[in-house]
Structure 1
Amino acid sequence: MKKILTLSTLALLISAPALAQTWVLTGAENSTDKGNWQISSDKLNIKDSHFSIEQKVLHGGKQEGSKVLTIRAKDGLTIALSPTRGMNLLHVEGFGVRMGWDSPVKEVVNPAFINLESRNGLGWLEGFNEMMVRCGYEWTGHPVTADGQIYTLHGKVGNTPASQVEVEVSDTAPYEIRVRGLVKESTFKKADLQTMTELRYIPGSNSFSLHDVLTNHADYPHDYQIIYHSNFGKPILEEGARFLAPMESISPFNDYAKGGLKEWQTYLGPTKGFDEMVFNIKPLSDNDHHTLAAVVNKAGDKGASIQFDTRQLPVLTLWKNTDTEKQGYVTGIEPGTSYAYPVTIEREQKRVKQLQPGESTQFDLTYTLLHSSSQVSDVEKTIKDIQGQTTLKTDETPIAKE
């Protein structure tokens, strides 16, 4: 019997709080749309925590009709995400630090104005400005034409509006906030993949987590891929900033990246004429299969870290794009099931995974905004402990060629 999972059923899979209030902001089945909406700790009569959650509908230019949902916590983080853009995270700020970057794309572009197949499959770039964009799930990686179709850059889910969106606030301290969105990749004769995304945040904390459940609703098996394309610019990224991760191996993505292999751990300042350099990493993990990757500033008192499970996301991509600030000065830390090669190469090298009919899989990540020397030191110690006595293997030859 085929397993059909509603948004509520999916929520149970990732253990919703026992006592909570829930607001449905979007519901495609019932044509529900709250539009501009707000709730706050004051309205909920919560005295020992201070936060607000607000949804705004944007107007003008290519952002016409886009929605932005923002969580603001006093003495904590401000987290902005877009239900219109696959529940992608736009930016995160707090404690004088920002996780995110400055893209030439300034608007929260409504996918209705994007043709993913333009520029030979690079249309995805016309909306790319997020701190974290999900690249998948039907496919990911660089564009390629195969099987009679164009596999566009980084898939479709990041440019798919959520069919259902819920906000949930726990009735008891510490008043955890959960934002859920159901994103569907359903095409006649092709695929019926549905992802219930969930962001969890405790007001006042300097970290938040993502818990995504991907389900194959079709009667046939289907491949899937995912890269959590997580992007950081100033003030974390600067000349002398460092990338940190426990690693089994590293190799250049292509011949151009060979030139930066010896300096993979450090960053240049904004450099005109710098093309992107990408490195393929096989991460190490602890006994619970958890690993940690981070980028920290030169002084070692600001940064961002990502914890993930290597059973779910076995590979890591490092993207260094230290071009000029106007062009987009940014680095990407990208846990995934695949590297960024086209799906044809990832299939050949056996990194494309598959879900059976009705089967689900889950992805769990925790993002932490580092805002002190001691927090950066703790991350460095954790990474050093996971690395242990394992010697990093550096391979100067790319594992594939496009």
Structure 2
Amino acid sequence: MNVFGDELSMAALRERTGDLASVAGVREVVLGNGVERGVRAVQLRTAAGLEVEVLVDRALDLGVARYRGVPFGWRSGNGFRHPGLHEHNDEGGLSWLRALDGLLVSGGLDHTLFGGEVAAEQYGYPPKQTVSHGLHGRLTAIPGRLLEAGEVWDGDRCTLRVRGEVVQAASFGEHLRLTRTIELDVDGRELRLYDVVDNLGFERTPHMFLYHLNFGWPVVDAGTEFVAPIAETVWRSDSVAEQGVSYRVQPDPKPGFVEQVHEHRLVADAEGRHRVALIRGDSTFGVEVTWDAATMPCFFEWQNLRSGQYAVGLEPSTHHVSGDAAARSDGTMTWLEHGESRAYRTTIRILDGAETTTATRDAIRRVAGQPEGNDA
């Protein structure tokens, strides 16, 4: 392990400190004030300076995220609202926007994207012919069950690990389970996210999944570049043409900015993974996100550049922007039979210094080129 610049074995580290928590570790806490009161969280901290908070009662999503004290996860101002405050059907299905905060807000498990009413006859319950969904589904407001939180040693290597499960279920409805594992090396600068979704029910059940990965200042700033191997942009929100802000290089915050969303078709690398990055204009700092292209083939770039909300979202997705009803109609919906599952692997890596950001940009551009402006 590299601890504060020294290469140390487990024995050497133990000679120098009586508690690993002096340099890195895992800590369980309960948030205690305001809308966050009662939310359980697990804080992970590496010797390299990576800090990530796992919100157990917010579907094991990711809250605060910092590197060497500098935030890279976005904070919206909503706070990490206790799930008991969430009203799923409120505000025309847009109440999810009151829960949107932190590095990762997951969408699913049976619905993502904008809400609406879809058929539910597969559940065989006559009073329930349809089901109504809000924006990005119900997952965000479901508390998780913590299964593991601690250090895992393998010889001289140590991994910080959190594992838990979230069950989304209704009588005469879906019965889906998300099992989530989050790992950081004790001296690492990357977070590894492993998710498995399986159908515990005995009815054929739709499955949609999306990661709303949110990055804020100072990773996102005037001049920050979005780097991606783009084959084409298959969809843009109307606001792109109306505002004309480049998808590629971010401006300063803009009062009243209307969110811009792009669905980019990405080219996978030789290992079958999609890779995208955000790199500051001075190339000193950035983040890279990689994931399996086969399981999450779709990708959205979300530009929320409004003053006070300033963020860029990188969103791997199982389905296209057209959403639930369209996926059922065109045959692209994922249906899980009893016992079937889908697995997902994603990595978030800190890019520290110009050498690392330049190498990452070059590696992504070797996969495929990238159009300027909004000409993709």
TM-score range, shorter chain: 0.7 to 0.9
In structure 1, what residue type is equivalent to 2:75?
D
Change (3 A) 1:345 1:168: same
Deviation at 1:80, TM superposition (A): 0.7
Question: Unpaired segments of 5 or more residues in structure 2?
Answer: 1-13, 120-129
Aligned to 1:89: 62
Match of 1:123 among 72, 81, 95: 95
CA distance in 1, matches of 2:205, 2:27: 37
Matched, 1:336 2:308: no
Matched, 1:295 2:278: yes
3-state DSSP class of the match of 1:161?
coil
Aligned to 1:154: 136
1:180-228 CA-to-partner distances (Å, cap 9, x unmatched) read 0100011111111101000011012111100001111112221111111
CA distance in 1, matches of 2:176, 2:255: 41
With the length of structure 1 as denominator, give the TM-score of the two structures: 0.81
1:346-380 CA-to-partner distances (Å, cap 9, x unmatched) read 33344421222101110000001112111111111
Matched, 1:371 2:352: yes
Aligned to 2:162: 179
CA distance in 2, matches of 1:182, 1:47: 27
Question: Unpaired segments of 5 or more residues in structure 1?
Answer: 1-40, 397-402
CA distance in 2, matches of 1:155, 1:144: 10
Aligned to 1:18: none
CA distance in 2, matches of 1:202, 1:356: 35
CA distance in 1, matches of 2:31, 2:71: 22
After superposing the two structures, state which structure 1 stretch, 55-64 or 378-387, moved more: 55-64
CA distance in 2, matches of 1:206, 1:290: 19
CA distance in 1, matches of 2:21, 2:99: 39
Deviation at 1:76, TM superposition (A): 2.7
Change (3 A) 1:299 1:96: farther
Instruction: Tell me if structure 2 keeps the 8 A contact 1:242–1:296.
Output: yes
Instruction: Tell me if structure 2 keeps the 8 A contact 1:290–1:310.
Output: yes
Aligned pairs for 1:96-115 within 5 A: 97-105=70-78, 107-115=79-87
3-state DSSP class of the match of 1:379?
helix
With the length of structure 2 as denominator, give the TM-score of the two structures: 0.87
Count of matched residue positions in the alignment of Structure 1 and Structure 2: 352
Aligned to 1:273: 256
Change (3 A) 1:164 1:46: closer
Match of 2:178 among 185, 188, 195: 195
Match of 1:312 among 277, 295, 318: 295
In structure 2, what residue type is equivalent to 1:267?
Q
3-state DSSP class of the match of 2:91?
helix
After superposing the two structures, state which structure 1 stretch, 346-355 or 178-187, moved more: 346-355
Aligned pairs for 1:354-365 within 5 A: 354-365=335-346
CA distance in 2, matches of 1:395, 1:305: 23
Deviation at 1:124, TM superposition (A): 1.1
Instruction: Tell me if structure 2 keeps the 8 A contact 1:97–1:236.
Output: no
Change (3 A) 1:359 1:149: closer
Aligned CA RMSD, in angstroms, stands at: 2.5
3-state DSSP class of the match of 1:343?
helix
Deviation at 1:261, TM superposition (A): 6.5
Aligned pairs for 1:49-88 within 5 A: 50-88=23-61
